[in-house]
Amino acid sequence: MLPDSPDVEEVVAGEDGVLQGIKERSLIIDMSTISPVVARELAHKAREGGASMLDAPVSGGDVGAKDGTLSIMVGGSEGDFERARPLFEAMGKTITHVGEAGAGQVVKACNQIVVALTIEAVSEALVLGSKAGVEPSKILDVLSGGLAGNKVMEVKRDKFLSHSFDPGFRVELHRKDLGIALTAGREYGVALPVTAIVDQMLEALKAKGRGDRDHSAILTFIEDLAQHEIG
């Protein structure tokens, strides 16, 4: 997956890019995470060349990729989505056509907001509970059984408890994705105040030299503020 929009633009529409030699009725599928605006522009350029393009970012992390259980959110025409479905079914479990070109990237931005804010919320809960004397594993057990239960506590449980933050999905990449979400918020006139705060937490972690750690290392930012390491 390509790390940012300029790289995707260059590969698809740049000099000697994919569109330079593409055949009519070819289908381009971009499964990276980029700006919805860029996704729409590239789809338009593909159509001008007689081809089609889908934006199909994924969620599910390294575990979902290995297990073939990714959630794939696809923007583009219904017909092109059906053409690509067999490929998506080989990689994912939840495969959803979410709208026209760019819609996949919009939904991915929404996904990354929820994941980042959930990691931050779980981190606050763990640090508060631990500093007050409660075993972190017990906190996760209890929260997982009620309304607060979420996939983050299931997938990232071992990283939280062991403080082993080998990526996974890196802090610096999630920071890039929240940047995309915040830009989309400005474009559509949607305030994303808590997203902006967590974005700054990720920026601070990167400045501390933790940008290459798993995004669950947001826990360490909250620990630093409390001067307390859980467990």
108 catalytic per annotation: yes
* Tokens 């919009």 belong to residue: 106
Architecture, CATH, for domain 106-226: Orthogonal Bundle (1.10)
The answer to whether 5-101 and 106-226 have equal CATH topology is no
Band (pLDDT 50/70/90 cuts) for residue 6 is: low
Catalytic-labelled residue, pool 108, 156, 159, 176: 108
Is the pLDDT reported for residue 2 higher than 50?
no
Give the chain's mean pLDDT. 93
* β-bridge pairing 27-30 and 52-55: parallel
> CA dist 115 to 29, 78, 80, 122, 138, Å?
24, 28, 29, 11, 22
Q: Are 56 and 88 in contact (CB under 8 A)?
A: yes
Query: By CB neighbour count within 10 A (0-12 exposed, 13-18 middle, 19+ buried), where does 90 fall?
Result: exposed
pTM of the model: 0.89
Q: What is the CATH number of domain 5-101?
A: 3.40.50.720
Task: Indicate the pLDDT class of residue 62, thresholds 50, 70 and 90.
Answer: confident
CA proximity to 156, closest of 125, 192, 197: 125
What is the distance between the terminal CA atoms of the chain, rounded to a whole angstrom? 36
Give domain limits for the chain: 5-101, 106-226
Residue 22 main-chain phi, psi, to 5 deg: -75, 145
| DSSP SS3 for 15 | coil
Q: Is the pLDDT of residue 5 over 60?
A: no
